[in-house]
Structure 1
């Protein structure tokens, strides 16, 4: 049974909401790829323990922020 529209029709998410979602998706993808590539690189250079966790965490945040920013910009262009 359809729901009556009333005065306000259902609207999709705003452009800003789409950009936030694009950033979050890009951040997650960047974190995952940063964890993989940063982990392998740190292990290749012989990092262990606290040094390994610190370097992988730094690469994950940098990758997530970078890729999230580009995804948000791309989503904003599409709006």
Structure 2
């Protein structure tokens, strides 16, 4: 009996929603890393120190991560 390639038990790839979630996660990580670099340097340039520096860099990291993650998710959804 010949073997059927793919068979009935073939594992399917991730769904479009799963790909969009993964794209958001990767984009969020990249956006947070770039937010840490750019936000940290700009805050130090403005002379921020201590708690003010940490709060500002954290805010820039979250904003950058959310923005870049959203655009990565949209781009991944378009490609599905």
Same-fold status (TM-score > 0.5):
yes
Distance 1:24 1:18 in 2: 10
TM-score by length of 1: 0.91
Distance 1:5 1:59 in 2: 47
The structure having more radius of gyration, on CA atoms, is 2
Distance 2:73 2:7 in 1: 33
Partner of 2:59: 58
Partner of 1:49: 50
Distance 1:77 1:6 in 2: 30
Partner of 1:37: 38
Distance 1:10 1:39 in 2: 44
Alpha-carbon RMSD = 1.3
Count of aligned residue pairs for this structure pair: 76
1:21-69 residue CA offsets vs partner (Å, 9 max, x unmatched) = 0000000000000000000000000000000000000000000000000
| Unpaired runs of at least 5, structure 2 | none
Structure 1 SS opposite 2:62: helix
